Amino acid sequence: MKSIIKGRWAIFSIWLIATIILTILQPDINAILRQQGQAGTSSDSPSVIAGNILAKMNTTEGTDNLIVFYNEDKIKDEEMKEIGETVSVILDHSSELGITEMIDPFTMPEAKSSLISEDGTTLMVSYKLDKKGREVDDIKEQFDSILEDVPVEYYLSGEDFINNDYLKASQAGVEKSAALTVIFILAVLVIAFRSVVTPIISLIAVAFSYLVSMGIAAQLIDKVGFPVTSLTQMLLVLILFGIGTDYNILLFNRFKEELSKGHSVDDSIVNTYKTAGKTIAYSILTVFIAFLALVFSESPIYQSGVVVVIGVTILLLEILTLTPFIMKVLGKKIFWPSKNTEGHKDNKFWEKTSSFGTKHPILITIIILAIIGPMIFLHKEKLNFDTVGELGDSYPSSKAINLVAEHFGKGQAMPTTVVIENDEALDNNESLSAIDSVTERLKAIKGVKMVSSVTQPQGEQITDFYVDSQMGSVTDGISQTEDGVNQIFDGLTEAQIGLESADFSQVNQMVDGTAKLQDGMTELTNGLKQIQGGIADGTNNPETIYNGLDTIETNLTAMSSGITMLADSYDKMQAGYSEMGNHYQDAATALLGVKNSLAQMKTMTDAVATSYVDSENDTNFQALKQTIEQLLASLSQITPESIAALNENYNATTAGFSTANENLANMSDGLLQMSEGLNKLKAGLGQTSSGIGMIVTNLNAVNNGLGEMKAGQQQLVEGLNGFGEFGEKLTDVNDGLKGISDGLEQTNGYLTQLNAKTFFIPEEALTNEDFKKSLDAFMSEDRKITKMTIVLNDDPYSNEALTTINQINETLSNGLKGTVLSDAKSGTVGTSATTNDMNDVLSRDLSRTTLIVIVGVLLVLFLVIRSFWTPIFITASLVGAYYTAMFIINFIFLDLLGYAGISSFVPFFSFIIIVALGVDYSIFLMMRYKEYPELSPKEAIVLASKHTGGVIISAVIILGGTFATLIPAGIVLLIELAIAVITGLIVLCFILLPLFVPALIALPDKLSNFFSKDKKTI
């Protein structure tokens, strides 16, 4: 210390230069905070991971923001028109405003219902804002220049504007708190030291440490990404000015006491640092350990509290170097104008309470434990994460959100988003079916109001995408198909009966008879030629010739009659055959259609089996599948190729009938002419030769006709043989049709009863333009990421909403298991999801940090006090003070004021501050306690309390008053934190340290004496 005193001017110069340089070069941490925001959760939190997935999907740059238009009497038509025109102007200037995407009810009428409230008072315009490095205040001015003539109230809100307003509120709170702190400390120190110099010197010394530590912290924040929040600067101001002033009170009071003993300035400084200096070093060590424990926190907001470690380290350097310089330079003048060199007077309150505690340790211990014990064991944390609610209606951004919450519901203003990322594309029936199933599961959660997804973009099922809806048209189609199949069956049955009744067995005999007829006709022709020759030579008897001609005429008449009958038979056969052809061709076309319909039905039942979990055990469903498969098997031979083969046989047979009919006509004509020729022959034998010549000529024609007829008959035989095969196949077809009809009836019966809400999207729907809009809105460009938008029933910050988020996460995980998306990544992002993660993180941080801080405090107390039980007693007192403070603020804010919960950061920072700073006062007391080793513990603690009580009360007033300056800031978080810290310090200063700790110190002797008396009595 003497070396420090000797080199005091050099040390002062270093401090001055360092302070000036660091202050000048200090980056604007508020600007940094506005640009990068403050993260409440760690990078591996589920909501952050989900947010990163969503960021891949949203290729549009920017953050989500809102313009809210409001007229409490309802927006009129004229006002709506002007708003629309203004929105159009904003769209025209979107590039310079930084708007990358916009949704409004004017250019997107389909979004009207979700952007205009039912009461017509509130209208929202949603957009993405790319700040492009600009300050939010500058962006607000650009918007205001366009919106200033709008005939209704308007508010700019959203992520950027809320953060900006919250930072403004925090910054204003810091500035107001800092000013009030300076004023308060000056007033208290003036009263305490009866001096105007001491307060100023104390504030200047602390200001040096604050400016240097803030300069170092700002460089770390800017250069190496040191965690920063809106609380960073405020926390540093409160801690440094609070405990810095406390330490200065202790130092100056001891320095004053040493001077009163007649010591020189140098000796007084040395003695001060030997006693009070050591106390301060131990006290700072506990603060150092407590805030260093924040390194192990998951939350970046808690981690930002490590800045206090920098602050108290610099403060310790200042106390060890700069404060001795001030003491040396000013000496006794430091207490001007007061000439009283005595230190703090003995504190009678602490003396009496500690004396009472040592006299009645058992009673005091029981009473205090009875009061504080239930507060500890019954303590339940009910946290509130609503930063918007903390701003109230004082800022435009929070006013807008409150309007949206009032007229749309807060869930609508702050929806939750579920994201799913898969390795393969999701735009297929299997994946969409799994997504739709998850959508339905999420809709069934009690706290969920609406779920919009790619399969349900409006939050409702699209009926055409479900099997039960499709089954209606399917069963109608099956019924029609069954009717058609039955008609085909009836027609083919008739054709088959006709075919069976037709006697084709004589066709071959007919061919043989025709051949014999042709031979006889040839012989007849030859005979006539001979007759013609005989007549010509006059060698034969005319009478005989006449008789022979008579016989020929008779035979010709019989032949003509036979041919006529044959022709009639052919006509009937051909008519029946044509009718049968019509039936079988219709049947062929219908059967191919039936086969295609069954194939589509099989695809549909396969899809149902995929999504129907219990399909393997459903006997009806399995029977349906088996029926369809059997029907398809029975039609396996019905192919375009087999129908073509039947057509070929049919056409060949038809050609045979045609040829036969033509030749029969020729034969009939020939026989007619032969008959005419014979009549002429009988009329005159003179003309016999010429008549016979005519007959011969006609017979040749008939003969040729018979030859052609024979060929046609042979062709007919071949066709009829093929037709015989067709007849056999027709029998098989008819049997198959009967089975198909029965199967279709069974299938239709089952499908009519089937009412499963199974998702099945037809192929044509996947390429539909309307559905493509849904794909684009809810899926990434590569279709590997999809999202679902969930509107909650409850306030997104409420405990009910957090419970719902847990159910959503669980449902999402379970819903994807066992599907094609079982390996997909998934998560939930949004206000409620982030809040839920923060709740989990903060709870873990509080538990972990509590343990680390308590262990650290115990170690320091063991080091200072060098005993076992006393450090434990003091630590128990600190923990008791914290839980008492929590009980009081829960009572005030939850029970009396009806708040939803305590601000999320209050319990954590209250614990750190009450324990870390409260232990300072314990160390003040115990270091003085150790100065009386010759006294009994009871006497030593009473004397120590008597001498340090005044200092501790002054220090508590200073620190409590410093935190009290947070109350005028108007931010709920700061008000609750202030009340919690003040309550904890009051309980510690006026109950636990002067009463409970002395009672605990006296308790072992009291119990020992009590049990000794019992033994003597026995």
Percentages (nearest 5) of helix, strand, coil residues in the chain? 75, 5, 20
337, 196 Cβ separation under 8 angstroms:
yes
CA dist., res. 892 & res. 899, Å (int): 9
Which residues lie across from 101 on neighbouring strands? 128
Q: What pLDDT was estimated at residue 38?
A: 61
User: Does the residue 539 lie in any domain?
Assistant: yes
Burial 560-593 (b: 16+ CB within 10 A, else e): beebeebbeebeebbeebeebbebbeebbebbee
Q: Let me know if residue 674 belongs to a domain.
A: yes
Question: What is the 8-class DSSP label of residue 1018?
Answer: -
- Give residue 836's region: left, alpha or beta (phi > 0; psi -120 to 50): alpha
Which of 360, 476, 190 lies closest to 999 in space, CA to CA?
360
CA angle 873, 875, 880 (to 5 degrees): 95
Whether residue 564 lies inside any domain: the answer is yes
What DSSP state is assigned to residue 460? S
- Cα 205 to Cα 216: distance, rounded to the nearest angstrom: 17
Residue 883: per-residue pLDDT:
92
DSSP conformation class of 779: B
Closest CA relative to residue 147, chosen from 165, 123, 173: 123
Non-local CB neighbours of 201 within 8 Å, separated by 6+ positions = 326, 330, 334
Check: CB of residue 345 under 8 Å from CB of residue 946: no
The Cα-based distances of 291 to 96, 217, 786 in angstroms read 45, 15, 42
pTM of the model: 0.68
562 domain-assigned: yes
For residue 118, CA distances in Å to 106, 110, 563 come to: 16, 15, 94
Q: Which residues, in sequence order, are CB contacts of 443 under 8 Å at separation 6+?
A: 450, 451
For every residue of 313-372, DSSP letters joined together read HHHHHHHHHHHHHHHHHHGGGGGTB------PPP-HHHHHHHHHHHHSHHHHHHHHHHHH
The residue among 427, 459, 425 whose CA lies nearest residue 771 is: 427
Q: What span, in angstroms and rounded, lies between the C-alpha atoms of 52 and 46?
A: 10
Q: Find the domain containing 687 and state its range.
A: 467-753
pLDDT at 441: 92
Q: Give the per-residue pLDDT at 663.
A: 61
User: CA dihedral in degrees (13, 15, 20, 21; nearest 10)?
Assistant: 100
User: Mean pLDDT per segment of 10 residues, for the chain of length 1018 residues?
Assistant: 82 92 87 67 77 79 86 92 94 91 86 87 90 87 92 89 83 82 85 84 91 91 82 83 84 83 85 84 87 85 86 92 89 79 73 92 91 84 74 83 83 82 90 90 91 88 69 55 57 55 52 57 60 52 56 59 58 59 60 66 67 64 71 68 67 63 61 60 52 59 60 56 52 55 56 60 78 86 91 82 90 90 89 82 83 88 85 90 92 87 85 87 86 88 89 87 86 88 93 91 80 56
Q: Measured between alpha carbons, how far is 921 from 955 in angstroms, rounded to an integer?
A: 8
d(CA 961, CA 941): 27
Instruction: Report yes or no on 514 lying in a domain.
Output: yes
Q: Which residues fall within 8 angstroms of residue 750, CB to CB, at 6 or more apart? A: 620, 621, 623, 624
Residue 851 falls inside a structural domain: no
| Residue whose structure tokens are 């920098």 | 310
Q: Is 524 part of any domain?
A: yes
C-alpha span between 821 and 837 (Å, rounded): 24
Residue 538's pLDDT is: 47
Query: Could you tell me if residue 872 is inside a domain?
Result: no
d(CA 994, CA 352): 9
Residue whose tokens read 């330490």: 247
From 178, 212, 402, 222, select the one nearest 317 (Cα to Cα): 212
Cα dihedral across residues 222, 227, 230, 236: positive or negative: negative
Query: Based on the structure, what is the number of domains in the chain?
Result: 1
pLDDT at 766: 79
